[in-house]
Amino acid sequence: MNAEDDGLICPDVGSWAETKYRLLALYDELFSTGMKYKWDQRVYIDLYASAGYGRIRGTKKILKGSPVLALGVTHPFDKYVFCEESTDLLEALKVRVARIAPQAQVAFIPGRCDTKIAQICEEIPKGSPNNKVLSLCLVDPFDFGLKFETLKKLSAFYVDFIVLLAIGMDANRNYDHYVDGASPKIDEALGNTAWRDRWRAAGTRRSDFRRFLAQEFSISMQSLGYLEQPLDRMKLVRSTEKNLSLYYVALFSRNRTAYKFWDDVLKYSTDQTSLWSL
């Protein structure tokens, strides 16, 4: 998972990102290998790709980011689609990809994934009975700023999602603004406004809001035909400094096989002597 400084842009990441990367690397490996002979093409989509490398804040330690981890699996995906809002970060990613995986088929999409979703969907090879295409899509925004509508458009294809629900950082800090204010942010992330009534009716404590939102997100994904993902099968990643909860990492698939891989990942991602030396 560690990388050498290559002089290109390396955005700061928290030290807890190591947990995220361990989990993603394991899942990418299991998914890309396990689905290789079941599907004709496997596609990896990163909606919030960043630069490919990140530096742990306040240190010199550089980690491979999600696009580079996905490029490094034993049985590479047949195609990669990387979307990133920042031009500088995307340019750095392009240079890294050309060096690390020059043979990979990669589409780079500059801009916001929500406005570029049609272009992203066009990059997914057309499926047919003789050409079955399965995609794995990573949704990794900084906060709870994802838009359910974007995932809904992708769900028209065979797509499994790994979603980082960064609600610990965002929703707790902005609770009043989101719940009592007029902010549409959570409405857009969940794809409905009915959550507000359900939250009031639940009458639970403010400290339960994070758990409530994660469960609501799972309900929204179920409306697209995805299997239920209960809280205890989401990975809660906490900051290493104050042990504050930060985000849930959740898998959403319509297929039970994916959840077998996920269970392995949950088991080994906390094990320091993990399956592979990454």
Ligand X SMILES: C[S@@+](CC[C@H](N)C(=O)[O-])C[C@H]1O[C@@H](n2cnc3c(N)ncnc32)[C@H](O)[C@@H]1O
Q: Where along the sequence are the contacts to ligand X (CB under 6 A)?
A: 47-50, 54, 65-66, 83-86, 89, 112-114, 140-142
Least distance to ligand X, CB of residue 78, Å = 21
- Judged by CB, which is closer to ligand X: 114, or 216? 114
Q: Cα 48 to chain center, whole Å?
A: 8
Contacts of 30 (CB under 8 A, 6+ apart): 261, 264, 265
Instruction: Report in angstroms the alpha-carbon separations of 104 from 74, 91, 96.
Output: 13, 16, 12
Task: Look up tokens 């195609």; give the residue.
Answer: 79
What single-letter amino acid sits at 127? G
Least distance to ligand X, CB of residue 82, Å = 10
Least distance to ligand X, CB of residue 102, Å = 20
Beta-bridged to residue 41, according to DSSP, are 133
Least distance to ligand X, CB of residue 85, Å = 4
- Judged by CB, which is closer to ligand X: 30, or 62? 62
Least distance to ligand X, CB of residue 196, Å = 24
- Judged by CB, which is closer to ligand X: 173, or 206? 173
Q: Are 25 and 68 in contact (CB under 8 A)?
A: no
Least distance to ligand X, CB of residue 198, Å = 27
- Judged by CB, which is closer to ligand X: 54, or 76? 54
Least distance to ligand X, CB of residue 158, Å = 22
SS3 letters for 87-148?
HHHHHHHHHHHHHHCCCCCEEEEECCCCCCHHHHHHCCCCCECCECEEEEEEECCCCCCCCH
Q: Which residue is nearest to ligand X (CB)?
A: 65
DSSP state letter for 208? G
Least distance to ligand X, CB of residue 148, Å = 13
Q: Give CA–CA dist 276/32, Å, rounded.
A: 15
Q: Are 161 and 68 in contact (CB under 8 A)?
A: no
HSE (CB half, 13 Å, CA atoms) of 117? Answer: 16
- Judged by CB, which is closer to ligand X: 38, or 154? 154
- Judged by CB, which is closer to ligand X: 24, or 266? 24
- Judged by CB, which is closer to ligand X: 245, or 257? 245
- Judged by CB, which is closer to ligand X: 105, or 119? 119
Tokens at residue 54, please? 């990140």
Task: Look up tokens 């929204």; give the residue.
Answer: 220
Task: Look up tokens 């205890």; give the residue.
Answer: 232
Q: Are 202 and 219 in contact (CB under 8 A)?
A: no
